[in-house]
């Protein structure tokens, strides 16, 4: 809220008008211009509406006949109300490739929320992240707003990546908060404050690693059958805490979970392939990353057809070198069930040092605790 202008040095706390965003805003980023929609966009918006693609702001016309009215009035109502604004995301030659909006603005509380959509033909190019960063920079530079919210479905990995890359902080999950055609979805709440660093939170990058026998790469949907077979194997079921009756649905959920874990800076996972055959051999993940103390824990699950060949230990050692040398970590922990001598052998052959036994740590079972520090790698 802003006060009326002073009259003879007098103002009244009761006389206030709602603030509104500038009508002629134009925000230039490296590849985009964010600017208000106008009648000059009628042909492009008409084509978008007729094509049936969905990325325009809420309230956009469902039929081409409503485009002119929307461009002349409807798309501007949010700004006139003081509650936000809708901007076209334009790329090369001024072509509209997306839209981005502020809404739920409270000038008194100093908060707003950002939302966006990108034309399907232009996704995967980083436009959403670039637009969000440009708009949020503009908000903090030109207004008194102090906080910007961003929400995304928990299963919408591309939007989660946009929030992370734009410097937002993952603040929590609202369970079953939105209802869509396929049912309820959990909603992740992100926040960005004026004084935040604006740099992405600490995460480990998706990367490929190699050994003489193995390729370690990010998990992919094609891994689901092999991952499910490994998780359902009786030995895996007996010696790990994977879900009972492990299925392909569990495998798909695990792959998505690993990427969400990475985006939060809490871990990362790899699929391990045998280079000679290209076949799935194991799944290895880092978890419980402590960025302050630079510590992490490693876990793995070897496919039944790949056991006894040293693949898990070879992959773990390669990951340890990468973690210590590239990212400055100083300790990697590994825990293995007392009843799992094979996993203990993997740890010991990989150079881990046995530290003790954590009693009743996994479903009441004792776990042997091992650690690896850079000096152990020689």
Q: Is the pLDDT of residue 362 over 60?
A: yes
pLDDT band at 334 (very low <50, low <70, confident <90, very high): very high
Report DSSP letters for 165-179, one per residue: HTTPEEEEEEEEEEE
| The pair of three-digit structure tokens given for residue 221, joined into one six-digit string | 């949907």
Cβ within 8 Å of residue 109, ≥6 positions away: none
Q: Which listed CATH number (3.40.630.30, 1.10.10.10, 3.40.50.1950, 3.40.718.10) goes with 2-145?
A: 3.40.630.30
Q: Which CATH code fits 209-377? A: 3.40.630.30
Farthest CA pair distance, the chain: 88
The pLDDT, as a whole number, for residue 5 is 36
Q: Using the 8-state DSSP alphabet, how is residue 158 labeled?
A: H
The mean per-residue pLDDT over the stretch 253-265 comes to 94
Q: Is the pLDDT of residue 224 over 50?
A: yes
pLDDT digits (tens, 9 = 90+) for 118-141: 999 999 999 999 999 999 999 999
| The pair of three-digit structure tokens given for residue 239, joined into one six-digit string | 């010696």
Distance CA(295)–CA(371), nearest Å, equals 10
The mean per-residue pLDDT over the stretch 8-31 comes to 70
pLDDT band at 3 (very low <50, low <70, confident <90, very high): very low
pLDDT digits (tens, 9 = 90+) for 48-58: 999 999 999 99
Q: What is the pTM of this model?
A: 0.82
Q: Is the pLDDT of residue 162 over 50?
A: yes
pLDDT band at 188 (very low <50, low <70, confident <90, very high): very high
The mean per-residue pLDDT over the stretch 161-187 comes to 94
pLDDT digits (tens, 9 = 90+) for 278-324: 999 999 999 999 999 999 999 999 999 999 999 999 999 999 999 99
The pLDDT, as a whole number, for residue 18 is 55
- Which strand ranges, in their side-by-side order, compose the sheet holding 169-180? 27-28, 33-36, 85-90, 96-106, 111-118, 147-153, 183-193, 169-180
Average pLDDT, the chain: 92
Contact 225, 247 (CB under 8 A): no
Residue 156 backbone phi and psi in degrees, to 5: -100, 80
* Domain pair 2-145 / 209-377, same fold: yes
Q: Where are the domains of the chain?
A: 2-145, 209-377
Q: Is the pLDDT of residue 332 over 50?
A: yes
Q: Is the pLDDT of residue 11 over 80?
A: no
């Amino acid at each position: 809220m802003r006060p009326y202008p002073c009259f003879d040095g007098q103002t009244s706390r009761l006389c206030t008008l709602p603030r509104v965003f500038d009508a002629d805003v134009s925000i230039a980023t490296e590849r985009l211009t964010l600017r208000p929609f106008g009648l000059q966009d009628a042909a492009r918006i008409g084509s978008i509406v007729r094509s049936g693609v969905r990325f325009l702001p809420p309230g956009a016309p469902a039929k081409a006949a409503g485009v002119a009215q929307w461009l002349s009035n409807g798309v501007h109502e949010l700004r006139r109300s003081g509650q936000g604004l809708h901007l076209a995301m334009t790329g090369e030659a001024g072509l509209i490739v997306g839209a981005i909006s502020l809404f739920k603005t409270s000038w008194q509380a100093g908060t707003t929320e950002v939302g966006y959509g990108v034309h399907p033909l232009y996704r995967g190019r980083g436009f959403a992240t670039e637009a969000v960063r440009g708009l949020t920079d503009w908000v903090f530079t030109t207004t008194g707003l102090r906080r910007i919210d961003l929400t995304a479905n928990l299963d919408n990995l591309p939007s989660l990546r946009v929030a992370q890359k734009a410097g937002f902080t993952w603040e929590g999950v609202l369970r079953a908060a939105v209802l869509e055609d396929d049912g309820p979805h959990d909603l992740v709440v992100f926040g960005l404050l004026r004084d935040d660093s604006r740099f992405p939170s600490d995460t480990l990058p998706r990367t490929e690693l190699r050994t003489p026998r193995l390729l370690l790469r990010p998990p992919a949907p094609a891994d689901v059958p092999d991952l499910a077979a490994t998780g359902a194997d009786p030995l895996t079921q007996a010696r790990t805490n994977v879900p009972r009756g492990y299925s392909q649905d569990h495998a798909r959920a695990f792959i998505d979970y690993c990427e969400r874990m990475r985006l939060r800076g809490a871990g990362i996972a790899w699929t391990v392939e045998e280079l000679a055959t290209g076949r799935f051999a194991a799944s290895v993940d880092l978890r419980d990353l402590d960025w302050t103390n630079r510590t992490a824990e490693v876990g793995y699950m070897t496919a039944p057809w790949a056991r006894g060949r040293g693949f898990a230990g070879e992959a773990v050692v390669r990951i340890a070198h990468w973690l210590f040398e590239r990212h400055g970590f100083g300790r990697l922990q590994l825990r293995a069930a007392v009843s799992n001598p094979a996993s203990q052998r993997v740890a010991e052959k990989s150079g881990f040092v046995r530290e003790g036994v954590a009693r009743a740590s996994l479903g009441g079972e004792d776990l042997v605790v091992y650690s690896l520090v850079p000096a152990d790698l020689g």
